[in-house]
Structure 1
Amino acid sequence: MGLPDTPAEADPGPAAVLATFRQGFYRCLTGRADALFELTDAVLCTDGPVHSLVDLSLAAEHRRGHGALYDGLNSGRIDIDRLRTTLAGLPLPRTAGGRIVLAVDVSNWLRPDASTSADRLFCHVYGRAKGQAQMIPGWPYSFVAALEPGRTSWTAILDVVRLGPTDDATAVTADQLRDVVNRLVEAGHWRDGDPEILIAADTGYDITRLAFVLADLPVQLLGRIRTDRVLRQPKPPRLPGSTGRPPKHGPEFRLDNPLTWPAPQHHTTTDTSRYGTADACSWDRLRPRLTRRTCWIDHDGDLPVIEGTLIRLQVEHLPGDRDPKPVWLWCSATGASAADVDRWWQSFLRRFDLEHTFRLFKQTLGWTRPKLRTPEAADRWTWLIIAAHTQLRLARPLAADLRRPWERPTTPGRLTPARVRRGFRNLRAKTTLPAGAPKPARPGPGRPPGSTNHRPAPRHDVGKTVKRDLSITARKQRGG
């Protein structure tokens, strides 16, 4: 459950907010609560990166054996809806204008050798060299996080959903974003008159479809589009005396053909410390060309006309690249000013802060380290990692800088999540500890010596199990 609204003079301090979240998180654990809670504390307090689950059972904060650890992940229960509401009720970062900026992205838990694990999909993974992308079996997870202003490695994770073999990624993402926005509204983070929530996404999402489905929410969708896309300009005014059917769209706007570009409505130049000079051009009321494929194949009636603002961002240089290509962005809002355009592309660059969170999850907190068999256990472990990361974020103003001799000193407010984690063991002793003490028990006898397993685990295929028709004609013929 979310934190109640309190007057400014009674605003709880960081220590009280952290203690309240730990109590709320413990109440969300409805099965094997003590084992799951102490497992989360072991992730936060162990020295160095997490390499395996069994090593966490040796931490002082985990007072149970390794059997209880695996039993909690395999047989425990978490009230996910309650935990989502608890996360939505926590303080959220905002931009200078008080706007909430959300980012949605997918991170993969690769399991190429787990033939007995169900619900695996082929995940797109970039190689180290150009053109070395691969498709590796794994579990893709869709994360939604609130972004902070300025360059930082902190984000506020609000939700996660695992994409299954029968899921439509666009439909699942739309439902996920709708639920997150509704929870933020119920928690009081957005009220009538506040700036609309900005949602940033990368090229893997059909940003036009998301804008159409979420049009009834107080949100603006911002996403990167491919450089070979074709958009349409607004239809020209009909001249007197014209005959024939009026056109539905205006001339084409091809991103790879500058001859089709009209004069931009806005052109701004910004000096940045990391990318040099950034030039942004924008065109208003441009509509992407829609086709009856993928997410639009089941749309009834004529395809809608969805207008937005197109932005072309060209920076002077990137780290390791002196001749970067331009980035094309499309926002669902129209009638934007030059200040809005600059705010949009700067917010899109902040979306990459979520990559730092994914790196922390995998390399430090050990999100993808366990060799769990069932996707349900993987979901429980994922939510425990999110709860651990949330506690690091809440402990950020409380942690001391326990730096290594070769590291530069920094102020407490600028500590990275990994450096906050170094001092969490000291903070844990001063906050609430709701988990009960373990009861003495003896380990089970296990499998008798010399016996074999007569019930091998079933093997599961990888990939989509529901195939959709590629054209509207094929769908009609199949339905008839």
Structure 2
Amino acid sequence: MSLLPDAVQREAFAEASRFRGEFYECLTARRDELFELADAMLCADGAVKSPVDLTLLPEHRRGHGAMYGGLNHGRLNVDRLRTVLASLPLPRFDGGRLVLAVDVSPWLRSDAPCSAERLFCHVYGRAKTASQFIPGWPYSFVAVLEPGATSWTAILDAVRLGPTDDATAITAAQLRGVVERLIAAGQWQAGDPDIVIVSDAGYDVTRLAWVLRDLPVELVGRVRSDRVMRLPKPPRMHGVNGRPPKHGPEFRFTKPETWPEPAITTVTDTTNYGKAEAQAWDRVHPRLTHRSSWLDHDGELPVVEGTLMRLKVEHLSKDRDAPPLWLWSSKTGATPDDVDRFWQAFLRRFDLERSKPDCCRSRDLASLSLFSFIVLDYRGLLV
């Protein structure tokens, strides 16, 4: 029995009904069959292993052959679907702030050697050293995170990464599109707090911060623990000639003797990790070179300054030792509240791991509609 007030139930039901109607309009061919497949997927008990299994559920009222007809000849207007997803009610953190997360989830295709544009996808095993590379299709996802612990995330976009794609450039264009659609839908207005985008260590967070610098966003990303960054350049000394330095001294993550005194130190009691101590240094930046994603950069390379954070907790679950976590944010002049907000938002990124639709585990309407996008992308039926 639900304990929600009747008014809340009616409002939620009306919003779900509105979304179902708009999702139905996004289907431009064989829409009845595709819509019933989405309904069956939403109501299936457990993970969906094969589309054929969906035809046995009561939500799928058509025959077995209709499923093949829908997947072979159906059409989905993906641009309209993305606009619909951006207009849904979205969870927000304190102050009404939106927090997005970006990640990659593979659709493993090891048994399909004839499938075009497969890549070797990194997959983690159960043991720490059991990771492996399996052929498949990687999809880049953007989702809205909730402030509390949950396995529900509102997925807003999905893009398949090809063999010749620059992952950073594709992700930057994807994030720009998502943010612009959110602004057009009225989810962000002038005067609202900046949208936070969190990412893991596989992303070049400084490059994303530079490319998206004209948008109202703050990038927060994990960086490798063996990195070397630079402190801000020292002030110009009177009477010293020559070109002033562009960078300050080195900041080696593995050598504490290169660390100056942190500008900010916060200590927070947590339920799962004991005391969490965060140290932050302002205006720390990488020393860029004309390599990798900066290879085609015109002109002098920029200095992309931000806030470097080191998070250390007492323990992980089951009293395991916790190595320090390094984060970098594109925001300079951060306050202690900003530092705590950054690392707490990053921890919420792991909610995305539980709701990736690679095994059809997610049960919210937005994720199911995006899974429909993936299926039709595989069939080449996007319009």
Structure-1-length-normalised TM-score:
0.73
Counterparts of 1:176-187 in structure 2, within 5 Å, are 176-187=174-185
Write the mapping of 1:52-71 to structure 2, written as runs, cut at 5 A: 52-71=50-69
Given that residues 119 and 375 in structure 1 are in contact (C-alpha distance below 8 angstroms), is that contact kept between their aligned partners in structure 2?
Answer: no
Contact 2:105-2:358 at 8 Å conserved across structures: no
In 1, Cα distance between equivalents of 2:112 and 2:375: 10
Match in the other structure for 1:154: 152
Residues 64, 359 of structure 1: alpha-carbon distance in 2 compared, 3 angstrom cutoff? closer
Select 2:269's aligned residue among 267, 271, 279: 271
- How far apart are 1:171 and its partner, in Å? 0.5
Structure-1 residue corresponding to 2:190: 192
Query: Residue 288 of structure 1: SS of its match in structure 2?
Result: coil
Give CA deviations for 1:288-308 in whole Å, capped at 9, x if unaligned. Answer: 122222211111122110000
Partner of 1:172: 170
- Does the 8 Å contact 2:73/2:381 carry over to 1? no
Inter-partner Cα distance in structure 1 for 2:185 and 2:166? 29
Matched residue, 1:82: 80
Q: Show the counterpart of 2:206.
A: 208
| Aligned AA (1:93) | P
Structure 1 residue corresponding to 2:340, chosen from 342, 350, 354: 342
Which residue of structure 1 lines up, in the alignment, with residue 228 of structure 2?
230
Q: Distance in 2 between matches of 1:359 and 1:42?
A: 15
1:15 is displaced (CA, Å) by 1.2
Letter of the aligned partner of 2:141 in structure 1?
Answer: F
Q: CA deviation at 1:164?
A: 1.1
1:14 Cα shift? 1.1
Segments of structure 2 that go 5 or more residues without pairing to the other structure are: 1-6
- Cα distance in 2 for partners of 1:41, 1:260 equals 57
CA distance in 2, matches of 1:379, 1:361: 20
CA RMSD of aligned residues (A): 2.3
Query: Percent identity over the alignment?
Result: 64
Partner of residue 21, structure 2: 23
Shift of 1:320: 3.8
Provide the rounded CA distance (Å) in 1 between the counterparts of 2:66 and 2:51.
Answer: 11
Between 356-365 and 114-123, report the one with greater CA deviation.
356-365
The answer on whether the counterparts of 2:109 and 2:137 sit within 8 Å (CA) in structure 1 is yes
Distance 1:374 1:15 in 2: 27
Deviation digits for residues 252-298 of structure 1 (CA, Å, limit 9, x no counterpart)? 00111101000000101000001111000000000112222221111
Among candidates 263, 283, 286, match of residue 285 of structure 1: 283
Residue deviations 1:19-40 (CA, integer Å, cap 9, x gap): 1111100000001111100001
The whole-number CA distance in structure 2 between the counterparts of 1:19 and 1:363 is 22
Quick one: distance in 2 between partners of 1:376 and 1:81? 13
**1:15-54 counterparts in 2 under 5 A?**
15-54=13-52
Cross-structure match for 1:433: none
1:103 equivalent in structure 2: 101
Is the counterpart of residue 376 in structure 1 residue 374 in structure 2?
Answer: no
Aligned to 1:475: none
Cα 1:65/1:50, change in 2 over 3 Å: same
Distance in structure 2 (CA, Å) of the matches to 1:275 and 1:150: 16
- How far 1:132 sits from its partner (Å)? 2.4
> Alignment length, in residue pairs?
369
> How many Å separate the matches in 2 of 1:23 and 1:240?
69
Aligned-partner SS, 1:284? strand
Q: How many Å separate the matches in 1 of 2:305 and 2:110?
A: 42
TM-score by length of 2: 0.91
**Per-residue CA shift, 1:99-123, capped at 9, x if unaligned?**
0000000011111110111111111
Q: Residues 278 and 90 (structure 1 numbering): CA distance in 2 closer, same or farther, change over 3 Å?
A: same
Distance 1:246 1:364, change over 3 A: closer
Matching residue within 192, 217, 220 for 2:218: 220
Aligned to 1:145: 143
Moved more, 244-253 or 201-210: 244-253
Report whether the alignment pairs 1:125 with 2:123.
yes
* Distance in 1, Cα, partners of 2:193 & 2:352: 22
- Cα deviation, 1:355-399, whole Å, max 9, x if unaligned, reads 1112784447799xx9xx998336779xxxxxxxxxxxxxxxxxx
Per-residue deviation, residues 297-351 of structure 1 (Å, max 9, x unmatched): 1111221100000000001111145321000000000001001100110000001
Distance 2:310 2:236 in 1: 29
